[in-house]
């Protein structure tokens, strides 16, 4: 009997190499991942599937992560309260404030690392308890 993945994670990032790295690192930890290339694809994925958490790049073409998060949070959908962790290579303090203002639960800087993700996941879960 195959084991169940720990979490279903939506990774929204327009940089294919970075997204692939994030997905591989998360999958090595036992998580299941789906990649979206922009905010619109992330919203479509949330409409179609259940995710435990979203990793959302702030700057993406078509619809960035901040706009996508505002759209997600404004809806009456089942996924309106999905935990969203912002990810960006921008200056951490400014990006973190932008993420919070948009409705994201937490922010981690790039380059992505599992220890930072686990800290963000812990902080996100402890705030919702």
CATH number assigned to the domain comprising residue 67: 3.40.50.2300
pLDDT band at 1 (very low <50, low <70, confident <90, very high): very low
Quick check: is 2 in a domain?
no
Q: Is residue 62 in some structural domain?
A: yes
The answer to whether 53 and 124 have CB atoms below 8 angstroms apart is yes
Q: Residue 120 — very low, low, confident or very high, per pLDDT cuts 50/70/90?
A: very high
Query: Which pTM does this prediction carry?
Result: 0.92
Count of domains forming the chain = 1
Of 127 and 8, the structure prediction assigns the larger pLDDT to 8
Instruction: Give 31-73 pLDDT, tens digit per residue.
Output: 999 999 999 999 999 999 999 999 999 999 999 999 999 999 9
Q: Which residues contact 41 (CB under 8 A, 6 or more apart)?
A: 12
**What are the C-alpha distances in Å from 96 to residues 8, 10, 31, 89?**
24, 20, 25, 11
Query: What residues make up the domain containing 43?
Result: 8-128
In the numeric block, the tokens 């402890």 are attached to 126
Q: How far apart are CA 123 and CA 1, in angstroms?
A: 32
- Is residue 124 one of the residues assigned to a domain? yes
Task: With respect to residue 15, please indicate whether it lies within any of the assigned structural domains.
Answer: yes
Residue 87 lies in a domain: yes
In a domain? residue 1: no
């Amino acid at each position: 009997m195959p084991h169940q993945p720990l979490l279903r994670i939506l990774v929204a990032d327009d940089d294919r190499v970075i997204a692939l790295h994030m997905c591989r690192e998360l999958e090595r930890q036992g998580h299941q991942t789906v990649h979206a290339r922009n905010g619109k694809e992330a919203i479509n994925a949330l409409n179609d599937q259940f995710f435990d958490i979203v990793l959302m790049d702030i700057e993406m073409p078509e619809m960035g992560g901040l706009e996508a998060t505002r759209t997600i949070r404004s809806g009456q959908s089942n996924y309106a309260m999905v935990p969203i962790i912002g990810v960006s290579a921008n200056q951490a303090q400014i990006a973190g404030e932008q993420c919070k203002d948009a409705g994201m639960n937490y922010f981690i800087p790039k380059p992505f690392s599992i220890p930072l993700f686990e800290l963000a996941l812990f902080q996100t879960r402890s705030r919702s308890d």
